[in-house]
Structure 1
Amino acid sequence: MFLNIIYIIAGVVLVLWGADRMTDGASSLARRMNVPEILIGLTIVAAGTSAPELFVSLVSALKGTPDLAVGNVVGSNILNTMLIVGCTAMVAPMVISRSTVRKDIPFAVAASLLLFVLCMDGFGTLSLKGNMISRTDGLVLLAGFAAFMGYTIRLARKEAPVASHVTSCDAAGDVSATPVTGNVVADTVSTETPVSLWKCILLVIVGLACLIFGSNLFVDAASAVAATLGVSESVVGLTIVAGGTSLPELATSVVAARKGQSALAIGNVLGSNVFNILAILGVTAVVCPMQISGITITDLLVMIMSIAVVWMFSFTRYTVERWEGAVLVCGYAGYMWWLL
């Protein structure tokens, strides 16, 4: 048991470090090829920061533990919207732009509802056990992801000439954020020193190797812990796996809040949620269809309600206040209590 916990920690460290190295290498390589910075942020860096969830879910499905894969995504989204937004708002009230409330949050809600519908398999019963997330479902999710990326890139190109790095205020006092996807802000200016070609390639290879090895180590150890404790793989996916792969989002959001960059914090959460459902589950289902066993309709409803509550809080003066953050954190604690 102790050794498996060490393996889980080592797997998380390898996955996060590998994702960071691969992102650095791919971004530097794209800059050498004169790819626009805005597109690097919206594609390569965004995908790189979502790589931990992608590789853990994909390896879980390939190893015959689909509940770890689905639980990773559902648990990560619940943690993002309740614990991360809650903790961030408690550090500093989160100011949210009108465009985020009217466009970005509804997109995250729509992605959550789409996953709910695909998991129900015809609404014949309230139990999800035995239902499939098929290759067709995966293609539907990827089509939604393509629409999201197209919308985000068009918005980025439209706003890039007038957008600052994080936020800007118009005459009416509205705060608008530079487009965010995955869990990064798409910066428009780069001041980094060019990296040599061989180093770019080496970073990508080393990062990818760490992602693959770390994901395998993490999934095997998490499955062993589930067997030792006598709990289902879905519970492990919703808690340990989701928590481990969501560490980058938590750190990014809290630091952003302390610096007064609330647009980055909320964009980090929304982009990550959409990526998790549409891209990660989409790719995983296309490669390896997943049969649901331990994930329940309650887990999916909590995921939907959590983002809906954040949406509702956002309408109050376009701010998530400290007390609202405390409500979200308490809600997450209650869900963990029920789950465990």
Structure 2
Amino acid sequence: MDFFVLGKLLAGLVLLVVGAEGLVNGASFLAASLGISPLVIGLTIVAYGTSSPEMAVAIQSSFTGQADIALGNIVGSNIFNVLVILGLSALAMPLIVAQQLIRLEVPIMIGISLLTLLFGFDGLINRSDGVILVIGGIIYTIFLIVKGSKQPSEEKEYEKYTVLEDISVFQWMKNLGLMLGGTGLLILGSRWLVESSTSIALTIGVSELVIGLTIVAVGTSLPELATSVMATLKGERDIAVGNVIGSNIFNISAVLGIGAMVSPQGIPVSNAAIGFDLPVMIAITISCLPIFLTGNVIDRWEGLLFVSYYIAYTTYLILRSTGHDSLHIFSNIMLLVVIPLTVLTLTIVTVNSLWKQR
């Protein structure tokens, strides 16, 4: 493999992470200085800002006619966010799940994931589909802003985003520069990432969809991973869950929606995505409800379950893309043994938890 292409891939990932960090920090500071409530900053700018790499990659790949990477990146990022980010965070420390997430955000995440599959049944997420997704994202964001203005947050994870006063011109210029510089790094990093990942896919004979689901998805999810794991280690455990759920909603409503709007022919949805990857994303989002309902906590064993399933999912992608002989055996073990046992275990745990709550 060309080491220049590999270096370009790694450099693109670094630029995406650094750019997202600058954009989030600068935007959060300026929003706080304008008197925007901490709750709104946490649920919009922080959650959406960590998804800015996905947005940059989606727009870049859509413009260059490589929309398979855009779709794979979004689906793969949402799967990675739940299975790996929540999984690793829960392994570090059991996570607290706010009631608002169970009542509102998780159902919205499930609904918008189902809508994506519905849009993709005809093999294309076109511009009108993208407009519907973006409008839904705007309505959701406005709802958060209105709700946040009526109920100022006192939650621990938003303390660092307290409303600021008496901001100097230098601080304004500094944080405006962070926003602009971060945006520039995102644009450059996304271009390098798309170009290099496409070259790698052609070299090793793997489809752009698989590259998007794995390498690109993991790379663009690094800001969410860093935010959630660090928040967990600092004891701010509920932000780890809120950041993942908010980012997943934004990935579909805004990232996929805008990608479909700017792509000349829309975003094609392959049979592989309809038959496997999108259903897997939906199944994972639905599984959040029973896991979150068990005492409003994600325990360590549930975190281990999440991470194990991501390893199994990635293994399946590799076996499928290479046409390995053991694919059939692996699939049968997952379908006939592992998944039924998991469903049975989650059902028993959920019923037991709900019975105790009653």
TM-score range, shorter chain: 0.7 to 0.9
The alignment yields a C-alpha RMSD, in angstroms, of 2.2
CA distance in 2, matches of 1:119, 1:282: 12
Distance 1:98 1:200 in 2: 34
Q: How big is each residue's C-alpha offset from its partner over 1:226-278, in whole Å with a ceiling of 9 and x where there is no partner?
A: 01110000000000000000011112111222222221010011001001000
Q: How does 1:264-279 map to 2 (within 5 A)?
A: 264-279=239-254
Q: 1:98 aligned to 2:99?
A: yes
CA contact (8 A) 1:90 1:322 kept: yes
The answer to whether the Cα contact below 8 Å between 1:67 and 1:295 also exists between their aligned partners in 2 is no
Question: Which consecutive residues of structure 1, in runs of 5 or more, have no partner in the other structure?
Answer: 122-130, 167-177, 179-184
For 2:181, the equivalent position in structure 1 comes to 206
Q: Is the contact between residue 117 and residue 274 of structure 2 (CA under 8 Å) also seen in structure 1?
A: no
Deviation at 1:84, TM superposition (A): 1.2
User: Which AA in structure 2 matches 1:72?
Assistant: N
Number of corresponding residues? 312
1:138 to partner: Cα distance: 0.3
Match of 1:157 among 149, 154, 168: 149
1:261 and 2:236 matched: yes
CA distance in 1, matches of 2:197, 2:96: 37
Measured in 2, the distance between the counterparts of 1:192 and 1:21 equals 22
Match of 1:59 in 2: 60
1:98 maps to amino acid:
Q
Name the amino acid aligned to 1:325: G
Give how far 1:27 is off: 4.3
**What CA distance in whole angstroms lies between the structure 2 residues aligned with 1:98 and 1:114?**
24
| 1:42–1:72 distance in 2 versus 1, CA, 3 Å | same
Alignment CA distance shift 1:219-1:284 (3 Å): same
* Displacement of 1:220: 0.3
Distance 2:29 2:227 in 1: 21
Q: Are 2:47 and 2:243, in contact at CA under 8 Å, matched by a contact in 1? A: no
Q: How far has the Cα of 1:42 moved from its partner?
A: 4.7
User: C-alpha distance in 1, partners of 2:29/2:100?
Assistant: 31
By percentage of residues, which structure has more helix?
2
TM-score, length basis structure 1 = 0.85
Give the superposition deviation at 1:330: 1.0
Q: Which residue of 2 is the match for residue 234 of structure 1? A: 209
Kindly indicate whether the alpha-carbon contact (under 8 Å) linking 1:88 and 1:253 is maintained by their aligned counterparts in 2: yes
Distance 1:17 1:195 in 2: 24
Kept in 2, the 8 Å contact 1:37–1:186? The answer is: no
Deviations 1:104-163 (A, max 9, x none): 211111111111111113xxxxxxxxx1110000011012102211221222123216x2
Which of residues 139, 164, 172 in structure 2 aligns to 1:147? 139
Match of residue 8 from structure 1: 9
Partner of 1:127: none
Tell me, yes or no, if the aligned pair for 2:21 and 2:223 is still in contact at 8 Å: no
**What is the CA–CA distance in structure 2 between the aligned matches of 1:28 and 1:315, rounded to whole Å?**
34
Q: Which residue of 1 aligns with 2:125?
A: 133
Query: How far is 1:193 from its partner?
Result: 6.2
Query: Residue 339 of structure 2 aligns with which residue?
Result: none
Q: Which residue of structure 2 lines up, in the alignment, with residue 243 of structure 1?
A: 218
Q: CA deviation at 1:306?
A: 0.8
1:136–1:315 CA distance, 2 compared to 1 (3 A): same
Compute the TM-score of the two structures, normalised by the length of structure 2.
Answer: 0.81
Distance in structure 2 (CA, Å) of the matches to 1:270 and 1:186: 20
* Superposition deviation, residue 96 in structure 1: 1.2
Report the residue type matching 2:311 in the other structure: A
Aligned residue identity for 2:296? Y
Structure 1 residue 187 and structure 2 residue 178: aligned?
no
- Is 1:325 the equivalent of 2:326? no
Residue 29 (structure 1) shift: 4.6
2:277 counterpart residue number: 299
Q: 1:192 to 1:330 in 2, by over 3 A?
A: farther
Gaps of 5+ in 2: 319-358
Aligned match of 1:76: 77
Identity of aligned residues (%): 39
User: Larger Cα Rg: Structure 1 or Structure 2?
Assistant: 2
Tell me whether 314-323 or 252-261 shows the greater mean CA deviation.
252-261
SS in 2 for 1:36: coil
Report the Cα distance in structure 2 between the residues aligned to 1:296 and 1:194, rounded to whole angstroms: 52
Q: After superposition, what is the alpha-carbon deviation per residue over 1:197-235, rounded to whole angstroms, capped at 9, x for unaligned?
A: 543443333222222111111100000010111000000
| Contact 1:138–1:282 under 8 Å retained in 2 | yes
**Aligned amino acid, residue 92 of structure 2:** V
Counterpart amino acid of 2:180? I
Change (3 A) 1:186 1:119: farther
Shift in alpha-carbon separation, 1:258–1:280, aligned structure 2, 3 A: same
